[in-house]
Structure 1
């Protein structure tokens, strides 16, 4: 288990601080398969997961949904044949919060 995946998401307010560039660099080392992506001026974390078929991809997408409900932090989940793209960001602050990195690490562990 990674250090991040052992943590829980904290309730986030609209005035919560976004991660700094230095924090982003450090946190990215803990989730190397994720990519920070600016989309419409909002920094997001994204990773594509590949599967042998649609059924396996759908099962994984459902696991991500269960994780999101448990953490009360919800990503964008794109389900396609043999592929699931998960995108984490914090809507309230229009950017990245430590919660996004925690959830990305927990998403990675769903594959174990």
Structure 2
């Protein structure tokens, strides 16, 4: 997990990373890929889509395991890194 930073949203720690793209359409494709991933886990990140970038923040607000950055958040952050690398190869 490279370049993920800890930040706080709504009083809860999150892992956050900004992914850069040369085209808006690539940012949008990545957004949709991450949204699909989130749906399979029923765990949804904060995502901010802008021209040339997508910022993603994974954190758990309420669960049986507590709140903050949990194992599932770290796993999904790693999967985002993998999706990003895959998408870059397809460009």
TM-score normalised by structure 2 residue count: 0.83
Unaligned runs of 5+ in 1: 1-30
Structure with the larger strand share: 2
Segments ≥4 residues shifted beyond 3 Å:
none
Gaps of 5+ in 2: 87-91
1:68 aligns with 2:38: yes
- CA RMSD for the aligned pairs? 1.2
Equivalence for 1:97: 70
Aligned length: 82
Q: What is the rounded CA distance, in whole Å, between the counterparts of 2:80 and 2:33 in structure 1?
A: 9
Q: Does 1:46 align with 2:16?
A: yes
- Point out the structure with max Rg over C-alpha: 1
Which protein has greater RCO, CA pairs closer than 8 Å, 6+ apart?
A: 1
